[in-house]
Amino acid sequence: MEQASSTGRTVHITVTNGYDLKGFKGDTPVTFVRAEFNQAVLGDSAKTTVSPEGTAKYSFTSSVELSPDGGVTLDDLAHKPLFLTVTEVLPKEKKQKDEKTLTLGQAVVDLLPLLEGEDSFETTVPLHPVQGSPLETPLPGSKQCSLDVKVFVTEPLLTAAQVSASNLLKVTLEAAYSVPESFMPVGPQQNYMVGLQVPSVGEKDYPMVFKNGNLKLGGEREPVPRPKKWPIANILAPGANNIPDAFIVGGPYEEEEGELNHPEDKEFRNQAECIKKRIVWDLESRCYLDPSAVASFQKRIADCRLWPVEITRVPLVTVPKGKPGKLEKADDENQLSFHGVAYVNMVPLLYPGVKRIRGAFHVYPYLDSTVFEKTKCLFSIFRDTGHHLVHNNKAGGLNSPLSKPVSKNLKEEKAVKDKEIDGRARPGDLQAPSIKSQSSDTPLEGETPLSHNLEGQQYLEAGTYIVLEIQLDKALVPKRMPEELARRVKEMIPPRPPLTRRTGGAQKAVSDYHTQIKSISRAILDEYHRMFGKQVIKVGSDVDSETLEEQKCQLNYELNCSGKYFAFKEQLKHAVVKIVREKYLKTTAFESQEELQTFISELYVFLVDQMHVALNQSMPDGMQGTASTIHTSSEQLRLFAFEAEVNENFEMAAVYYEERLVREPQNLDHWLDYGAFCLLTEDITKAQECFRKALSLNESHIHSLLLCGVLAVLMENYEQAEIFFEDATCLEPTSVIAWTLLGLFYEIQNNDIRMEMAFHEAFKQLQARTLQTKLKSAGTVENIDDGVKMEHSFGPWGAMHDSATAMKSEGLTGIKLRSSHMLSSHLPAELQSQPQGPSTVLSSLDEFIEESSKAHSESQEPIMTLQPLEPSLAQKSSNVLLKELTGKKETSKCQDSSTFLHSTSHAIPQAPATIFMETIRFLMKVNAVQFVHRVLAHELLCPQGGPSCEYYLALAQTHLLKKDFAKTEEYLQQAAQMDYLNPNVWGVKGHLYFLSGDHAEAKACYERTVSFVVDASEMHFIFLRLGHIYLEEKEYEKAKRTYMQACKRSPSCLTWLGLGIACYRLEELTEAEDALSEANALNNYNAEVWAYLALVCLKVGRQLEAEQAYKYTIKLKLKDEALLTEIHTVQEMVGFGDPSF
C-alpha cells in the first residue's frame, strides 16, 4: 500500500461544545477556539459567549488535507496531535484599537483512531489550563473543563486489508541513568538529545529524535506509573504535554530484554535509579509503517540485529532581543559533545507474538569503527544531519551515508528549517546493510582506542545506561493462538474412547462395604500372624483368656503406632459415605443434634450387622489355610520391566509393560513408559503410537506433547513437530524443557532467530526457578530442624511428589513354605498367561525407583541413602536375619525419616544446571538418544555449561548403549578427573567393566560406589551385579548381605533369587526357601527360581514338591547347564526328584 491512497482525503474536526468554562473577567466571557495541527493554524471559531453555567456552543469545524506529496501524511496523523486552544476575548477599553486576548487553556486530540480503520469518532477531551488561567480553579461543584470533539472523514483512510498489513511503531525514551559527573545543572544550559533511525518506505530512513532531556540530581526513584509525553515543544498548557491514556509503568529487571537484567546488576541499578544523576525525557514518539515500510523494518532487523541509539548534548544560546526567554540551539557543529551510542538488540521483535521490548542498554563512546563493526552503519544521525533535527522530531533532511556534514550556511539551514515547519520529511537514501549476528552484550571497551572520543569515555566510567521501550501495534511475526494449536493437536490425535459407565445404587454400596470389610479383615489377620505366628485357634480348644487379651492389646498398640488403624479407617470411609447417600438418601445437613445422634445410632447398628455378614462370608468355621493371591503393583511391574531392559531381555520387558497397560489402560504414564521402551528398541512407529495414545488421554499433558514432537522430528514430520512443541510452550510457559526442545527444533530448521528466542526464554525460566528455589531453601532447613522431612522428588514424567519417608517398603512377610499345598499355590497352572502375584501385598516403591526406572537415565538428583545394616546383624542366624529384614519394613517409616535427616548432610555438590543439561536428563529418561548428542553439543558451547562431570557421564552412557566400550571408558575417565567422588561415575564404570566381562574391575568399582555415603542414581543394578559377582567368586556371605540390601530397597524376583542362592550355598535352607518363595511369587516364569526350589526340596527331603519344581524347571527351559547338572547329581544322591526314571 502506498500513502498515495489517501490523496485528496480530508479530515474534518468539529468542536461542538465546551463545558465548565470561565474567564478572567465576568461570569459570561467571550471565547473562541483555535485549531492547530503540524505547527499550522487550521482556523478559529466564531466568538462565543459562555453561559453562566460555563457552557459554550462553538459548532466549529476545521479540516486537514492529506497529501503525501509535500503535505500532511498518514505518518503525521500518527505522531502529531491536534491542538485546540481556547482563548478569551477581553472587552475593549477606551482608546483601545485592537481587542486584547488571553489564553485560557489547551486541549489535545489524538488522531490515531483514523489509522485503525475508523471513519469517525467522538471524544470529550479535557481542557488543560495554562499557567495563571482562571481554569486552574474550577467552579464549585463542577468537573474539569472539557470540549466535545468529533473527528470524521468521508470514507476510511485505510481499508481493513491495509490496516491489517500496516503497523504502528512507538518508541518511548524514559531516562538515562548514572550519567557522567561532569553533567551539571548549573552553568551553561544544555540540550540533551537521543536519536535513532527507523526504516521507512523502500531503502529510506526517518530520523526519530528526543530532545530537551531534564537533568536531575537524583535522590529518589522516578515515580511509576507516570504519563508519557508528546515529543513536541512549545505546548502552552503543562497538562497538554501528556499523551492520553499512556503511562510508563516500569517492571522487574528480570523481565526486561536489555543488558542490565541479571541478578548481579540489581544493586547497581537500584543505586543508579535512586541516588545518582539522571536525564529524564519520558517522551513517546510514533511512526506509521505502511506495508512496504513494515517489510523494510523486518528485513533491517534480520540483517542488522543491533541498532545504534545515539546520545549527545548541545549547548543552548539565547536568541537576540525580541524573543526574550527563549533558547535556540547553537549552529556550530563543533558544539556536539559527549557523543555516545547504545546498541539495542531488536531481534526479539522477530519472535512470534512479541510486540514490545523494554530494557536498559549501556552507553558507549561513539566511534565510527566500532559502530560500523556492530551495526554496519556508516551514518550518524547527529553528526551527519546537523542539529536542526532537534527542532522537529519527525522531520529533517538526511544525507547519504557517504555525504559530508551539512553546510553551516545560515540561508541553507533556514531553508531546511522552513521545510520542517511545513511538516514534511525529506528522507535520504540510506542503505539497509546486513550485519553479522552478534549479541548486544558483547563488550565494546578496548576494541578501538578511545582517545578519539574522550568525552564519550565518561559514559563508560560512569556506567551510564538508557532505558528504552520499543512497541509495535501488531507483532511482526504472528504467533499461533492456543486455541488453534489445541485444535491442530486434536486433529492429529484421535479422541480417546469414552470411559466405562459405573453402576451405583444401594445394593452396590452395601456390596462395596462388604468388600472393604473383607480386605481390612485380611490385613488385620496378616498383621496378627506376623506378630504371633499362624497358629489357628480352633473352636472349643483350651485357650488362655489372659493370653488372648494380651495379644489383643499388643495388636491394637501396633496398629495405632504404625498408622495402619488410621489407614483402615480411611479405607472404609468412602464405602460408608456411599451407604449414607445411596441407602439412607442423606445428602443434606441435619437440622438438629438429636436427629444426628438418632441417625448415627441407626447407621452404626446397620454397619455392625453388615460387618458380621461380610466376616461370616469370608471366614467360615472351617478356616481355609491356602494363601490368597495378590497381584503385583504397577510400580513393581515397572521395576521388573526395567530389570528385563537392562538385562536385554526385551521380550519379558514388553510382557511387563503390556501387563501394566492391560490393568490400567487409562493411565497415561504406563503408555509413556512403554513408548520409552519402544524407543530403546528402536521401534519408532510403536513409540509414536504409545505417545499419541497418552496424549489422547490428556491433551494438556506437557511431556506427552514433547515426546510426540520428538517422535515427529525423528520421523521428519516437521510441521507436526512444531505444532506439538509450540502447544507445549503455550500450555506451560515456565517449562524449561519445552522451550529448549523448541529451540532445538528451530535449529534443525535453520531458523536462527526463533532458535535464539526459544533458548532465551528457557534460560529466563530456569533463572526464575533457581531464584524461587533459593528463596524456599531457608524454609526447608527450618522443616528439617523441626524434625519434619519433606522430600521433593520428580517422578518419571515430571510430577512432583512430597514424600514423608525416604523409602517406603512394607508388607513383605517371611512366610515359610514347608508344605506341599503352600508351594503349589505358586505354581503356574499350565503356564498361565499372566504372572502370579506375591503372597502378600507389596506397597508402592520409593521415588528412588521412579527415578531409576529407565535403563540409561542420567539424573543427578541426590538419592537418599539408607542406613547400612548394623554390624550385629551379621552375627545372627539367617532365619532371624530374614525375619528382621521383613519385620523392619513395618516400622520403616520412622527409620527412614531418621535416615533422611542423616543423609541430607552428605548431598553431592552440583554445579547449577543449564537448560541443555536439564533437557539431556529428560531425553535420557525416555531413551531419545538420537537427540542427546545435539543437546550435548550445545551444553559444551553454553557459557553457563561446558565440559563437566555430568556432561561426560551423559556421553559415556550414550556410548555404553551402543556397546562402544572404548569411548565409554574414555569419557568416564574424563568424568572421574572432574569429580572423583561422584558415585554415579563409579557406578557406570562398574557397568562398563561388567558388560565387557572384566568382573574384577567391576567388583572394585561397585564396592567403591556402595561405600559412598550418598548413593548413586541406579543402586538397584549395582547391588544385583555386585551380588552376582560375589556368587561367582563364592563369597556367599558378602553376596547375602548385598542382596539383602537390595531386597530392603526395591524387592524383585532377581533380588530374592540372589538372596536365596546365597543362603542355599551357605546351607541355610530354611532362609533360602523363604527367599526363593518370595521370588517365585513375584515371577513364576523364572526357571532358575524353580531350579533352586527343586534343590532345596531335594535337600530337605520333600519329594512331591521337588518333582513339581523340577517339572517347571524343565518346562521353562533352564539355560544354565551347570545348574541342571547339579540338580541331576543331587537327585541321584537322594534317590528321588525326577519322575522320568
pLDDT of residue 144: 82
Q: Are 636 and 542 spatial neighbours (Cβ–Cβ below 8 Å)?
A: no
Q: What is the pLDDT of residue 589?
A: 84
**According to the model, what pLDDT value does residue 94 have?**
63
Asked whether the beta carbons of 694 and 672 are under 8 A apart, the reply is yes
- Nearest-angstrom CA–CA distance, 170 and 472: 6
Distances from the Cα of 880 to the Cα of 126, 815, 873, 971, angstroms: 93, 13, 9, 45
pLDDT band, residue 402 (cuts 50/70/90): very low
As a whole number of angstroms, the distance between CA 965 and CA 951 comes to 17
CA distance 212 to 855: 67
Least trusted range by pLDDT, from 210-219, 485-494, 662-671, 1086-1095: 485-494
Q: What is the pLDDT of residue 772?
A: 82
Q: Round to whole Å and give the CA distance between 926 and 937.
A: 19
Mean pLDDT score, 1098-1102: 90
SS3 sequence of 805-856: CCCCCCCCCCCCCCCHHHHHCCCCCCCCCCCCCCCCCCCCCCHHHHHCCCCC
Distance, in Å, from the CA atom of 279 to the CA atom of 281, rounded to the nearest integer, reads 7
Residue 13: its H or E element: strand 10-19
Contact present, 127 and 144 (Cβ < 8 Å): yes
Give the mean pLDDT of 328-347.
Answer: 73
| CA 181, chain centre distance (Å) | 43
Over residues 743-789, the pLDDT tens digits come to: 999 999 998 889 999 998 999 899 888 888 877 765 554 444 444 33
Question: In angstroms, rounded to a whole number, what is the distance separating the alpha carbons of residues 926 and 707?
Answer: 8
DSSP sequence for 456-485: HHHHHHHT-EEEEEEEESS-SS----HHHH
Q: What digits encode the pLDDT tens for the residues 1039-1097?
A: 999 999 999 999 999 999 999 999 999 999 999 999 999 999 988 889 999 999 999 99
Q: What's the burial of 277, exposed, middle or buried (CB within 10 Å: 0-12/13-18/19+)?
A: buried
Which residues, other chains included, contact 1032 with Cβ-Cβ below 8 Å and sequence gap of 6+? Answer: 999
| Section 222-239 average pLDDT | 88
Side-chain half-sphere CA neighbours of 632 within 13 A: 28
Torsion of CA 881, 885, 890, 896, to 10 degrees: 120
Task: Tell me how far apart the alpha carbons of residues 153 and 162 are, in angstroms, rounded to a whole number.
Answer: 17
Instruction: Please name the residue that has the C-alpha cell 478569551.
Output: 88
- From the CB of residue 523, how many other CB atoms can be counted at a distance below 10 Å? 18
The average pLDDT across 367-375 equals: 88
Cα separation of 1113 and 1094, whole Å?
8
For residue 1067, the model assigns a pLDDT of 92
Higher pLDDT, 900 or 1119: 1119
Instruction: Classify 603 in phi/psi space as left (phi over 0), alpha (psi -120 to 50) or beta.
Output: alpha
Closest CA to 1090 of 1070, 1066, 1067, 1119: 1119
Residue 772 identity (one-letter amino acid): Q
The CA-based dihedral angle spanning residues 270, 273, 277, 280, taken in that order and rounded to the nearest 10 degrees = 170
Q: Is residue 472's pLDDT more than 90?
A: yes
b/e for 158-181, b at 16 or more Cβ within 10 A?
A: beeebbebbbbbbbbbbbbbbbbe
Q: What is the pLDDT of residue 502?
A: 59
Amino acid at 234: N
d(CA 1068, CA 1096): 10
- Segment 615-625 shows an average pLDDT of 61
CA dihedral 1094, 1097, 1102, 1105 (to 10 degrees): -40
Cα–Cα distance measured from residue 794 to residue 804, given in angstroms and rounded to the nearest whole number: 14
CA 271 to CA 97: how far, in whole Å? 61
Beta bridge partners of 471: 170, 356
pTM (whole model) above 0.85: no
48-102 pLDDT, tens digit each: 988 888 889 999 999 998 876 767 888 888 888 999 999 988 877 766 667 788 8
Nearest C-alpha neighbor of 835 from the set 1084, 462, 527, 1092: 1084
pLDDT at 791: 34
- Write the pLDDT tens digit of every residue in 482-538: 888 888 888 888 666 665 655 667 888 888 888 888 888 888 888 888 888 766 554
Q: Find the DSSP H helices in 304-375.
A: 368-375
SS (H, E, C) 917-953: HHHHHHHHHCCCHHHHHHHHHHHHHCCCCCCCHHHHH
Q: Which of 523-537, 841-855, 861-875 has the highest mean pLDDT?
A: 523-537
Q: Helix, strand, coil % (nearest 5) of the chain?
A: 50, 15, 35
Mean of pLDDT over the chain: 77
Number of C-beta neighbours around residue 1141 at 10 A: 7
90 to 145, 168, 224, 710: CA distances (angstroms)? 20, 44, 41, 80
Higher pLDDT among residues 493 and 1, named by residue: 493
Taking residues 367-390, report their average pLDDT. 76
Q: What is the arithmetic mean of pLDDT over 978-1003?
A: 92
Distance, first Cα to last Cα, the chain: 100
> With the CA atoms of 506, 510, 511 and 512 taken in that order, what torsion angle do they form, in degrees rounded to the nearest 10?
100
pLDDT at 270 over 50: yes
Question: pLDDT at position 634, please?
Answer: 85
